[in-house]
Structure 1
Amino acid sequence: METTEKLQLLADLIKIRSVNDHELQVAQYLKGVFDRAGIESHIVPMTGDRANLVATLGHGQPVLAISGHMDVVDVDEAHWDTDPFEMVTKGDRLYGRGVTDMKDGLAALVIAMIELKEQAVPLNGTIRLLATVGEEVGELGAQALTAAGYMQDVTGILIGEPTGYRVMYANKGTMNLTVTSTGKAAHSSMPQLGNNAIFHLINALHLMQDEFDRMTTGVRNATLGETVYNVDVIAGGNQVNAIPGSATAQINLRTIPELSNHAIVHHFEQVLDQYNQRSNGHVTVEMATDIGPLVGATDGKLTRLIQKIGNPYAAKQTITPAERDYEAKILKLLDLPYSPTEILAVSSPGGTDGAQFLKDHPVGFDYAVFGPGNDSQHQDNEWTSKSQYLDFIEIYKQVLTQYFD
């Protein structure tokens, strides 16, 4: 494919407003691309305007899965300098919603497959593309494809989430909790006639924080670090002169294998039960999202191939001192190493569809996350590097070929 075609494919994907929905339109577009290239693909419908896409190149064992999600996060168009659903080029930067998370990685994987087909590169195995719905909210597509058996014969998986010139082989789990306090509404001049739900919620959150600190002290994973706990949303009450009858809080945790999601919830349930028994409060906790941590092979074949093939590209990248200093600062805050000239293997504080794909193989699988992009994902004026996008196509082609050697 010519460079203009590669950029046009990405621009076409950006035009499709797959904001937490409408991935069927992306799947249909990509199926048309694969059909014209003579690559077998099929759409796997879900509900409404949503569907996964599976494409296959080569045959036999081993089977290497490659994956990217088709959904993007919501956008506040008023805060953008350009139309977020029209890819705009400014120098080496390409702007658009999802251009870095992760339609550039998905497009690069698709183009790599097409060019391998065009060049009749022999493959001693099978490449299976799994393009998914709903990664940003619940990893729904990956869950459905795994349940349907698309991972049963896979020996390695490469996910094209944005990492830039880093490769990630492990990520923390994700757990969202909703804490609900139920009281009784009353006029604020007569609080004895009511039961203040916010008062009990605040007490409960303090107790939960204490319990979290107790259970996590000294508990650390050598690769992923410590469990992370954040109270992110609190809601309760409707006016200042009324005792609130209900209140809620939402908590996000990033978890490690040493302390399972269900073990954490069990501890919190015990703390709240004890509080309810000794007070007139009624506070409960419910798990809304339950995604376990994932630690791939520390010396996996995919990671080693990516480093060998990708290091020359990392070394020649054009990066300003300001960009280098910014990247180093961000990674230092995340307690991650940084190199502007080589691809380091690191863990990720965030999650990917890998948690669903590898739910039966959470430790030791040949798993790598490596894709074009940067830390502008989920932000206004999201952008990716045009040169990096094109470089990753070449890196992917070599990785997909040499994986079967």
Structure 2
Amino acid sequence: MTHEKAIQFLQTLIQAPTVAANEDQVVAAIVAQLQPELDAGLIHLKRLPFAPGRTTLVLSTGDAKATRVLAFDGHADVVSAGDEANWTYPPFAAEIHDGELYGRGATDMKAGLAAAVLAFQAAAHEPLKIQLRLFVTVGEEIDNYGARQIAAAGLADDVTDLLVAEPTAGHIATAERGIIDYTVTAQGKAAHSSRPELGANAIHGLLAYFQVAMAATAPLTARVDPLLGQATHNVDLIAGGNQINSIPEAAHYRGNIRSTPTASNEDFIAAMQGAVAAVAVPGVTITFQPDSVLAAVSTDSDNALVSAIQAARATIGETPLPVQAETGITDAAVLYHPEMALTIVGPGNETSHQTDEHVNVAEYLSYIALYRTLMTQN
């Protein structure tokens, strides 16, 4: 495939506004790209419907009897572009300026997904001694919906090597933090603001819980894991009350914790639940609810897949990449099992989820070559 067509394919994916929905627009583009190989029986496709307009794909090629199964993973959804007026270039136009392709999902992670698709297409024409799979998932940005489908169907159970094509800004990751998304709810009693003694202020209760919970988790976020560093704890959404002259009867906030083996999900949940009992605001009931919980994942930094990636880079004339941990969450949190060699490596930079997200075009093209070499140097 020419560079021009490879770039056009990525632009097509970015121009599909798959903001937590409608991933089938990307799926349709991928299937259309691979249709000649599908028709020839070189690639096999399995669809896992999740919701209307949202389908996870599992593509396979190579030797179906081989014991080594190398899987690539990429998600088709993106986060909101926010206020589009703040973007220098429209977030779903996929414009190229000075060698950078701009758009929501350019870095996270349609460049990695497109590179994996095109490398997979090319590899399907080679005499492979291994099995190759490509997972195209939905809903990764919310709760790894597509990866959960794949795991539930057992389609990752025999995977020996997993490469998640998320952007890693010039390094290879072999570990990532865990996550807890949670909701804290305060239930009180409404009253006129001139007679607060007749009610129970839910916001006061929520703020009191916040202070206790942050103090309770501070020792955990202070711990330093030798590989993943410090855990983090942030409150990102808050709501409560109806109008200025009424005592609020309900309020809630949602928080996000990024855990490590040294400060585990279990540690944080115990601290957050303990804070509930420590808050005493008359008439207000506090509830802590974990919404999504995924454990930290960690593998050897010199595993076989890391070595294969470095060898593939040498083959295409690229220098070795440093190996380190990843602070974000990927589909690996759901797909990983202990017998698997794991890496997270892909084109992109630190503009994920930011205004003016972009990816370097030359880097994107280099990853097509890297992934193809990795798939075929067996």
Q: What is the TM-score with the length of structure 1 in the denominator?
A: 0.86
2:356 maps to which residue? Answer: 381
**Inter-partner Cα distance in structure 1 for 2:220 and 2:23:** 41
**Which residue in the other structure is 1:284 paired with?**
287
Which of 196, 203, 211 is the aligned partner of 1:191?
196
Alignment counterpart, residue 67 of structure 1, candidates 64, 73, 91: 73
Q: Which amino acid aligns with 2:346?
A: G
Report SS of the residue matched to 1:200.
helix
Deviations for 1:248-267, whole angstroms, at most 9, x for unmatched residues? 12111000123432442233
- Secondary structure at 1:102 match in 2: helix
Gaps of 5+ in 2: none
- Measure how far apart 1:22 and its partner are: 1.0
| SS class of match (2:143) | coil
* Cα distance, 1:102 vs structure 2: 1.0
Instruction: Quote the Cα distance in structure 1 between the aligned partners of 2:352 and 2:23.
Output: 18
> How far apart, in 2, do the equivalents of 1:117 and 1:142 lie?
23
Query: What letter is aligned with 1:73?
Result: V
Cα distance in structure 2, aligned partners of 1:32 and 1:41: 12
Is the Cα contact below 8 Å between 1:174 and 1:254 reproduced in 2? yes
Does residue 7 of structure 1 match 2:7? yes
In structure 2, the residue matched to 1:80 is 87
Write the distance in 2 (CA, Å) between the matches of 1:383 and 1:314: 25
Report the Cα offset of residue 385 of structure 1: 0.6
The superposition leaves residues 112-150 of structure 1 with CA deviations (integer Å, 9 ceiling, x where unpaired) of 1222234x3x32111100110011111000000110011
- Among 158, 167, 179, which residue is 1:162 paired with? 167
What does the per-residue CA deviation read over 1:319-365, in whole Å, with 9 as the maximum and x for residues that have no partner?
xxxxxxxxxxxxxxxxxxxxxx751101111110100111x43xx74
**Unpaired segments ≥5 residues, structure 1:** 316-340
Q: In the superposition, relative to structure 1, how do residues 215 and 169 fare at CA in structure 2: closer, same or farther (>3 Å)?
A: closer
SS of the residue aligned with 1:388? helix
Amino acid at match of 2:276: L
Per the TM alignment, residue 83 of structure 1 is displaced from its structure 2 partner at its CA by: 2.9
- Runs of 4+ in structure 1 over 4 Å off: 311-315
Q: How does 1:137-176 map to 2 (within 5 A)?
A: 137-176=142-181
Picking from 239, 245, 255, the partner of 1:241 is 245
Code of the residue aligned with 2:308 in structure 1: it is L
The CA deviation at 1:4 is 1.4
Equivalent residue in structure 2 for 1:397, among 363, 372, 376: 372
Instruction: Report the Cα distance in structure 2 between the residues aligned to 1:369 and 1:391, rounded to whole angstroms.
Output: 16
Amino acid at match of 2:233: Y
In structure 2, what residue type is equivalent to 1:47? A
Q: State the identity as a percent.
A: 35
Cα deviation code 1:24-44 (max 9, x no counterpart):
222122122222134222322
- The C-alpha deviation readout for 1:61-90, integer Å capped at 9, x for no partner, is 210110100111112322223332222111
| Matched letter for residue 323 of structure 2 | A
1:285 offset after TM fit, Å? 0.5
| SS of 2:34 mapped into structure 1 | helix
Return the offset for 1:312: 8.5
